[in-house]
Structure 1
Amino acid sequence: MPVIPSLKSRLAVRERPACAHVMLQRWEKLAFLHWRWDADEIQRTLPPGLFVDTFQGDAWLAIVPFYMRGIRPRFLLAVPGISDFLELNVRTYVHDEAGRPGVWFYSLDCNQPLAVWTARTFFCLPYQHARMQARESSWIDYTCHRRGESGASHFRYQIADGTQHAEPGSIEFFLAERYLLFAHTSRGIRFGQVHHVPYPLADVKLDAWDVNPLLQAGFADPQRPPDHLIGSPGVDVRVYPLTA
Structure 2
Amino acid sequence: MPLEFKETSQRPFPLPASPWVLKQRWDYMLFLHWPVSEKILASHIPTAFSLDLFQGRAWISIVPFLARNTRLHGLPPFPFYHSYLELNIRTYVTYNGIPGIYFFSLGADKWPIVIGAGAASFLPYHHVQMKMSVQNNTVYFQSECLGSRKMPEWFRASYSPSSPIFLPEEGTLDWWLLERYCFWVQKGSQVFRGDIHHNRWRVTEAACVIYDQTAPSFLPHHVLSDKPLAHFSHQKNVFTWPLKKER
TM-score by length of 1: 0.89
Aligned counterparts, 1:201-220, within 5 A: 201-215=203-217, 218-220=218-220
C-alpha displacement at 1:225, in angstroms? 3.5
Aligned counterparts, 1:1-244, within 5 A: 11-13=11-13, 15-96=14-95, 98-138=96-136, 139-146=138-145, 150=152, 152-160=154-162, 162-215=164-217, 218-221=218-221, 222=223, 224-243=225-244, 244=246
Once residues 136 and 43 of structure 1 are traced to their aligned partners in structure 2, the CA distance between those partners, rounded to angstroms, is 37
C-alpha displacement at 1:107, in angstroms? 0.5
Letter in 2 for 1:186: G
**Which runs of structure 1 show a deviation greater than 3 angstroms over 4 or more consecutive aligned residues?**
147-152
Once residues 31 and 131 of structure 1 are traced to their aligned partners in structure 2, the CA distance between those partners, rounded to angstroms, is 18
Q: Gaps spanning 5+ residues in structure 2: where?
A: 1-8
Cross-structure match for 1:6? none
Once residues 42 and 228 of structure 2 are traced to their aligned partners in structure 1, the CA distance between those partners, rounded to angstroms, is 20
1:87 and 1:108 in contact (8 A); partners too = yes
Deviates more, 1:25-34 or 1:71-80: 71-80
TM-score by length of 2: 0.88
* Change over 3 Å in CA distance of 1:113–1:70 after alignment to 2: same
C-alpha displacement at 1:34, in angstroms? 0.8
Aligned residues: 232
Q: Gaps spanning 5+ residues in structure 1: where?
A: 1-8
Deviates more, 1:104-113 or 1:155-164: 155-164
Deviates more, 1:24-33 or 1:145-154: 145-154
More strand by share: 2
2:23 and 2:70 in contact (8 A); partners too = yes
SS at match of 2:199: coil
2:33 and 2:60 in contact (8 A); partners too = yes
2:29 and 2:63 in contact (8 A); partners too = yes
Once residues 51 and 223 of structure 1 are traced to their aligned partners in structure 2, the CA distance between those partners, rounded to angstroms, is 22
Once residues 94 and 150 of structure 1 are traced to their aligned partners in structure 2, the CA distance between those partners, rounded to angstroms, is 27
Identity, % of aligned pairs?
27
**RMSD between superposed Cα atoms in Å:** 1.9
Letter in 2 for 1:102: G
2:92 and 2:100 in contact (8 A); partners too = yes
* Change over 3 Å in CA distance of 1:140–1:22 after alignment to 2: same
Letter in 1 for 2:219: F
